[in-house]
């Protein structure tokens, strides 16, 4: 069973191998709509934008909003400020469409997809993947082996930088090759430099997503940091086009063919 919809300015696809009630997919995509209603920084009426304008107290916000803000603070502490959703309050950069003084977008998508995956598992789906613009949760093992995921080459758009095979893992990529200098180092206020793209693999997309952004900000030292965390591996491509990986990344690497 497959379903594809445009949400959050990207494409979300769900691929379930085996039988599952179609109502479960309806629920999943209704969840994605709710996430947009709560967290979009492109709409003035969402709770996160009302909090940013100090029209809504965090204590009065929806439980999902409070949960996400708590998770963002945890990641800020984990990364010594390399991931900081409040940077917009201090930024000297001119505001632009989609920007916000409080912007949890670097964690929300992964968190939302992780919740969707957990809901599918709860209704009996054992083998499936959810892909939201490259943020992926892959559960179970298809009949032909692990889920095969191609990692986009930053400069040669018709090529892949690598292919990974995963079972019961989450994969997320953060990069500056599609939208230019949109990732800002909250510690310096300047666009990130050093790494062009970072892919992180781990067990929970909530943190995989946020940590990919943090490693992009931290640069090469970020690879040592992510390698120090239990269960996380990463591949990074530098501005000089070098490919560097954490010590355990090669357990996921596959030949550059046969991508799911």
- Name the residue with tokens 């090669």: 250
Q: CB of 136 within 8 A of CB of 172?
A: yes
Query: For the chain, which domains are there?
Result: 2-254 (3.10.520.10)
DSSP element (H, E) containing 12: strand 10-17
CA distance 149 to 162: 9
- The tens digit of pLDDT for each residue in 27-65 reads 999 999 999 999 999 999 999 999 999 999 999 999 999
Contact 232, 226 (CB under 8 A): yes
pLDDT in tens, 17-37: 988 888 999 999 999 999 999
Tens digit of each residue's pLDDT (9 = 90 or more) over 215-246 = 999 999 999 999 999 999 999 999 888 899 99
Q: Compute φ and ψ for 200, nearest 5 degrees.
A: -120, 140
């Amino acid at each position: 069973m497959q379903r594809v919809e445009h949400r959050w300015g990207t494409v979300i696809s769900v691929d379930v191998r085996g039988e599952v009630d179609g109502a479960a997919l309806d629920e999943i995509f209704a969840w994605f709509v709710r996430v947009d209603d709560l967290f979009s920084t492109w709409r003035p009426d969402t709770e996160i934008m009302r909090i940013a304008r100090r029209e809504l107290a965090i204590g009065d916000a929806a439980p999902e909003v409070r949960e996400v803000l708590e998770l963002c603070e945890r990641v800020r502490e984990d990364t010594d400020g390399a991931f900081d959703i409040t940077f917009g309050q201090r930024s000297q950069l001119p505001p632009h469409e989609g920007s916000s003084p409080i912007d949890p977008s670097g964690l929300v998508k992964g968190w939302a997809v992780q919740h969707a995956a957990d809901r599918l598992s709860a209704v009996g789906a054992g083998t499936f993947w959810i892909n939201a613009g490259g943020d992926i949760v892959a559960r179970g093992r298809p009949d032909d082996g692990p889920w095969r995921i191609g990692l986009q080459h930053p400069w040669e758009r018709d090529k892949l930088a690598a292919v990974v095979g995963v079972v019961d893992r989450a994969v997320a990529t953060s990069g500056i090759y599609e939208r230019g200098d949109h990732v800002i180092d909250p510690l310096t206020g300047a666009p990130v430099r050093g790494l062009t793209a970072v892919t992180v693999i781990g067990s929970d997309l909530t943190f995989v997503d946020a940590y990919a952004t943090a490693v992009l900000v931290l640069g090469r030292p970020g690879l040592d940091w992510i390698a120090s965390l239990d269960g996380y591996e990463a591949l990074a491509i530098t501005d000089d086009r070098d490919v560097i990986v954490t010590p355990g990344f090669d357990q996921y690497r596959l030949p550059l063919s046969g991508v799911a």
